[in-house]
């Protein structure tokens, strides 16, 4: 029988845990990686998502280097970036930042990029960046202030979460919904199965 390798999710995001679980993949260990996520000068949003996903995965690989039990595990990491043109919208901490982000997103389209990085048991690094285009309706002042009151924007890239109240702002989405939430399921499962994980075999394990 093939060895069932462990999976480390280099993340502290409950959304990523849930999305993986949805497709039958339970991470054996969560390793939140606290990195500087700032954009480098002239760095494109897509490149930023790619770099941060790979930095998170590599930081986790480094962190387990002395742990025999975890050597040879798969390591998966992701990073989601919201951008209007070349401009990356930060994870909002304050309501005034959220207000300006929502005003910017109102009545227009923006891009959401999620970088996914998989380090295989033999330390190959596999990456993808998935993009989705999201169009928001024109938001009234009342909608924006109600959303600010809800606090759902806190700590979220682009000051919104599509999986919450802001789902009602989305007029159109081209690409992948799970990508916008934080982990594109089709591409992630492709990466895992392409590197030898039998994802479907887990479905009958309950």
Ligand X SMILES: Cc1cn([C@H]2C[C@H](O)[C@@H](COP(=O)(O)OP(=O)(O)OP(=O)(O)O)O2)c(=O)[nH]c1=O
> In terms of CB distance, is 164 or 194 closer to ligand X?
164
Q: How far is the CB of 170 from ligand X (least distance, A)?
A: 9
Which residues are 134's β-sheet partners?
A: 110, 173
Look at phi and psi of residue 7 and say left if phi exceeds 0, alpha if psi is from -120 to 50, else beta: beta
Q: Which residue ranges make up the site for ligand X (CB under 6 A)?
A: 11-13, 15-16, 32, 56, 79-80, 82, 91, 112, 155-158, 160-163, 180-182
Q: Establish whether 28 is a catalytic residue.
A: no
Residue whose Cβ sits closest to ligand X: 11
Half-sphere exposure of 24 (CA within 13 A, CB side): 14
Catalytic residue among 34, 36, 79, 96: 79
Q: How far is the CB of 85 from ligand X (least distance, A)?
A: 16
Q: Smallest distance from the beta carbon of 145 to ligand X, in angstroms?
A: 20
Report CA dihedral (23, 28, 32, 35) to the nearest 10 degrees: -80
Cα dihedral across residues 71, 123, 178, 103: positive or negative: positive
Closer Cβ to ligand X, 5 or 91, answer by number: 91
- Provide the pairing of β-strand 87-89 with 125-136: unpaired
- CB 157, min distance to ligand X, A: 4
**Is the CB of 12 or the CB of 196 nearer to ligand X?**
12
Rounded to the nearest angstrom, the gap between the alpha carbon of residue 13 and the centroid of all alpha carbons in its chain is: 8
Cβ proximity to ligand X, 166 vs 197, nearer residue: 166
Active site residues: 79
């Amino acid at each position: 029988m093939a060895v069932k390798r462990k999976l480390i999710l280099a993340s502290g995001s409950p959304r990523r845990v849930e999305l993986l679980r949805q497709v039958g993949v339970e991470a054996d260990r969560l390793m939140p990686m606290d990195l500087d996520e700032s954009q480098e000068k002239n760095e494109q949003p897509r490149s930023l998502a790619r770099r941060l996903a790979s930095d998170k995965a590599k930081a986790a690989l480094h962190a387990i280097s002395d742990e025999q039990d975890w050597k040879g595990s798969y390591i998966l990491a992701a990073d989601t970036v919201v951008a209007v043109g070349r401009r990356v919208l930060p994870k909002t901490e304050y309501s005034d930042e959220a207000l300006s982000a929502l005003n910017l997103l109102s009545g227009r389209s923006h891009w959401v990029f999620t970088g996914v990085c998989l380090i295989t048991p033999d330390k190959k690094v596999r990456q993808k960046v998935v993009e989705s285009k999201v169009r928001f309706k024109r938001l009234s002042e009342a909608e924006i202030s109600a959303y600010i009151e809800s606090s759902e924007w806190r700590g979220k890239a682009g000051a919104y979460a599509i999986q919450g109240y802001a789902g009602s702002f989305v007029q159109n989405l081209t690409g992948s919904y799970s990508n916008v939430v934080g982990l594109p399921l089709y591409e992630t499962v492709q990466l895992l199965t392409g590197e030898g994980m039998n994802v479907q075999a887990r479905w009958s394990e309950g």
